[in-house]
Structure 1
Amino acid sequence: MPLAHPSHTLSSEAAAEMLRAADAAAPHEACGLLLGVGLHVQTVLQTANVADDPARHFEIAPASLIAAHRAARAGGPQIIGYFHSHPNGLARPSATDRASAAGDGRVWAIVARGRITLWKDAPSGFEPLSYDTVEG
C-alpha cells in the first residue's frame, strides 16, 4: 500500500494573520514569509510589498527576506515559503505567479476571498498541497 503524502500544517494564528494582512492591504496584494519547521507553518511575517504595481503583483521587501534568512541561520524559524493575496482573484497561482516562480520547492500560500490555499513551487510548476489548520 503506498504511503500518503504527509499533510502540511498551518497554525490557526498564521492563517488568521494572512487573512488579516490580505484584508488590510486590499486593493493591493499583501505578502510575506511563511516561517516554521518541516511541514508546519508556525507563523507568518508580513512584509512590505515593494512591487511597482502592488495592485497586481507582489515583491517581498529584500531587507525583510535577508533578515529572515539571518534569523534562521542563527537558530530561528526556517523560511518554509511565501504568502501573498489575490484581492480580485482566485486562491490559485496566476500566470504572473507561474512566470516568477523559482521552482525551488518552497510553499506558496495564496489568499483570496477569505480562502487560503497552499502550493508547492516545484520545478515542473505549482502543485496543490493539502494542509490542516492546527493550534500553535
Structure 2
Amino acid sequence: MNVAVTSDVIARLHEESLRAHPEECCGILIGNENRIEEVIPAANVAPEPTRHFEIDPATLLAAHRAARQGAGREGAGKVMGYYHSHPVGRPVPSATDCEHSTGDLRVWAIIADGQVAFWRDTGNGFSPLTCHIVGSVARNDLNPNGHPKVHPNASPE
C-alpha cells in the first residue's frame, strides 16, 4: 500500500521529533484519500513521555471536529492518522504501539533515527506503507498563521 506525503510534512515531523527529544513527540496527520498534507502537533500527556506517548485529548477532539465541519467542502482535510517519535530505537511499531492497535486503518508515522516510516493500523498490528514524497501544499491555501484554511483550530507554531 502507498501513501503520498508532502515534503513540508516530512520536514515538520523531523522538526517536532528534534524539538521534543528526549521525549516522544506526537500529533495528528491531516489529509485526503492517501495523501497527508498537514500535521497538528499535540502535547504528549503520557505519564512517562520519554517512553510512551498519549495525544492530548483536547487537540485530538479539535482535529476531529474541524474535519467533520469541513466534510464535503472541496479541499477539506480529514484525520488520516497519528504520529509519534521513538527517541531511542527505529521507526517501527513498538510492542506498546502494537498493543494499542485498534484496526481503524489509520496511518501512523513513526520518527526515529533520522527517518520517518509510515504504517497502517490493521488491528492485529501494523502493515508497512510505501511513502511517496510529493510537493508542498500551495501557499495560497494557508491562513495568516501558516495553517491550511480548513483547520482553524490548529495551534500556531
User: TM-score band, normalised by the shorter chain?
Assistant: over 0.9
- Please identify which structure carries the higher strand content: 1
Query: How far did residue 124 of structure 1 move?
Result: 2.8
Query: How far did residue 113 of structure 1 move?
Result: 1.2
Q: Does 1:14 align with 2:9?
A: yes
Query: How far did residue 85 of structure 1 move?
Result: 0.2
Measure, in 2, the Cα distance between the counterparts of 1:107 and 1:63: 20
Aligned residue for 1:101? 101
**CA distances 1:48-102 after superposition (whole Å, capped 9, x unpaired):** 0000000000000000010001100111410000000001111000001011121
| Of 14, 20, 29, the match for 1:25 | 20
1:89 maps to a residue whose letter is: G
Q: Does 1:89 align with 2:89?
A: yes
Q: For the Cα contact (< 8 Å) 2:98–2:124, is it kept in 1? A: no
**TM-score of the superposed pair, with normalisation by structure 1:** 0.94
Aligned residue for 2:31? 36
Q: Secondary structure at the match of 1:130?
A: strand
Measure, in 1, the Cα distance between the counterparts of 2:108 and 2:85: 10
% identical equivalent positions:
45
- For the aligned residue pairs, the C-alpha RMSD in angstroms reads 0.9
Measure, in 1, the Cα distance between the counterparts of 2:4 and 2:82: 15
Q: Secondary structure at the match of 2:128?
A: strand
Instruction: Identify which range, 98-107 or 51-60, moves more after superposition.
Output: 98-107
Aligned residues: 131
Aligned residue for 1:115? 115
Runs of 4+ residues deviating >2 angstroms: none
Measure, in 1, the Cα distance between the counterparts of 2:59 and 2:79: 12
2:89 maps to a residue whose letter is: G
Aligned residue for 2:51? 56
